[in-house]
Amino acid sequence: MDPDLARHLRSSSTYLLRRRGRMNRMRVFGILACVALVPFLLQPAWAQAPFYEGKTITIVIGATGGSLNVSARIVARHLGKHIPGNPAVIVQNMTGAAHLVATNHVFNVAKPDGLTLLAANPNVGIAQLSKVDAVRFDVRKLEWIGSSGADGVALTIRADLPYKTFEEVRNADRELVVGTTGPGSNAHDFPLLLKEFAGAKFKLVSGYPANADILLAIERKEVDVWTAFASTVRPAVERGVVRPLVRGRVAAKGFEHLPVDEELAVSPIGKAIMGIRAAPQAIGRGIAAPPGTPQERVAILREALAKVLKDPALLADGEKAQIEFQHIPGEEVLKNFSALLDQPPEVLKEMVKYIKFGN
């Protein structure tokens, strides 16, 4: 073979081998680079750049006292550590118009950025249903994160009285005096509906400033019947001061065996109105973000709420405060609000006679 041709062929072969080697190395490097990126691509968006890192979440609540305020503060104390980025969480009390000021603020003023939440009073749904003038919101458009629990309502009677069942109350030989804080409260509306639609022999006496005053009247035997949240009446039940007779739709621990008020109604309209009254209790201590909050942040907050409500530290704080925590998903909260607001005209016409927005 011609020497020059041989050298050319050897040179060409060497070139091709080197080029092939470079191409193979590039392929390997490309594959390795792709493999290295896979874990990052599979991680959720917040893992790449936690939105909440270094930020503060504000929980707005329309009260300065009561179980709703206490429970919101307990949730705030523990929520941040369950959110990627570990944000600070604070509570802002914004009182006025029985929680309407706070609800209006979160709905209309707060930025929908996932940094403002509402610890909602579920009775704002009654305000919307009743077309209260101050309502500037639609609860169905809020982004419901969930609820930290629902506390059942229980009607109790003085333990020294002979009536041990609701049927005996129906057939009592006299009207039983019911102490209430006024229309719009559980102490008033719950026994009122049992009187109107279930035949209870009750005489309602309003004007007591708070549940503590009704309990004092019970102990003085000035009042026969007292209705409040199960967590409120429980200590008096345990002391033997009162005996529980009827409960609401939500079955609080230890009160499950009691008859439900809606089942005692003797007319369909009565049962429907009792159902309206029961809806806020089933919703419980709802937490919401403003309309338009990015869905990925809503998802982060929902997951965090579900986790924190199983946190042993939160549950221990709840036990000290005598508040039972349970997780109610945001979808269920919205479903209950939607059902509450979907009432036929004939029910609404009767409802306004018995259910007033208030406490």
Domains and CATH numbers, the chain: 56-150+284-354 (3.40.190.150), 153-279 (3.40.190.10)
How many other CB atoms sit within 10 Å of the CB of residue 132? 15
Question: From CA 248, how far away is CA 151, in angstroms rounded?
Answer: 10
pLDDT in tens, the chain (359 residues): 555 544 544 555 454 445 555 555 555 445 444 445 444 444 544 445 699 999 999 999 998 888 899 999 999 999 999 999 999 999 999 999 989 999 999 999 999 999 999 999 999 999 999 999 999 999 999 999 999 999 899 999 999 999 999 999 999 999 999 999 988 888 999 999 999 999 999 999 999 998 999 999 999 999 999 999 898 899 999 999 999 999 999 998 899 999 999 999 999 999 999 999 999 999 999 999 999 999 999 999 999 999 999 999 999 999 999 899 999 999 999 999 999 999 999 999 999 999 888 65
Say whether 153 sits in a helix, a strand or coil: strand
Q: Residue 144: which residues within 8 A CB-CB, separation 6 or more?
A: 286, 287, 288, 330, 331, 333, 334, 337
Question: From CA 154, how far away is CA 47, in angstroms rounded?
Answer: 46
Sign of the Cα torsion 127, 129, 131, 137 reads positive
Q: Tell me, what's the pLDDT at 357?
A: 83
- Beta strands 225-229 and 242-247: pairing type? unpaired
Question: From CA 123, how far away is CA 205, in angstroms rounded?
Answer: 22
Helices (H), the chain: 3-42, 45-48, 66-79, 100-108, 124-129, 166-170, 186-198, 211-219, 230-238, 261-264, 268-283, 295-308, 312-320, 330-341, 345-354
Question: From CA 141, how far away is CA 334, in angstroms rounded?
Answer: 9
Residues forming beta bridges with residue 58, ordered by sequence position? 90, 116
Question: From CA 77, how far away is CA 194, in angstroms rounded?
Answer: 39
Q: Tell me, what's the pLDDT at 5?
A: 45
Contact 102, 62 (CB under 8 A): yes
Question: From CA 229, how far away is CA 155, in angstroms rounded?
Answer: 9
By CB atoms closer than 10 A (0-12, 13-18, 19+), residue 358 is: middle
Contact 95, 103 (CB under 8 A): no
By CB atoms closer than 10 A (0-12, 13-18, 19+), residue 299 is: middle
Secondary structure letter of residue 112 according to DSSP: S
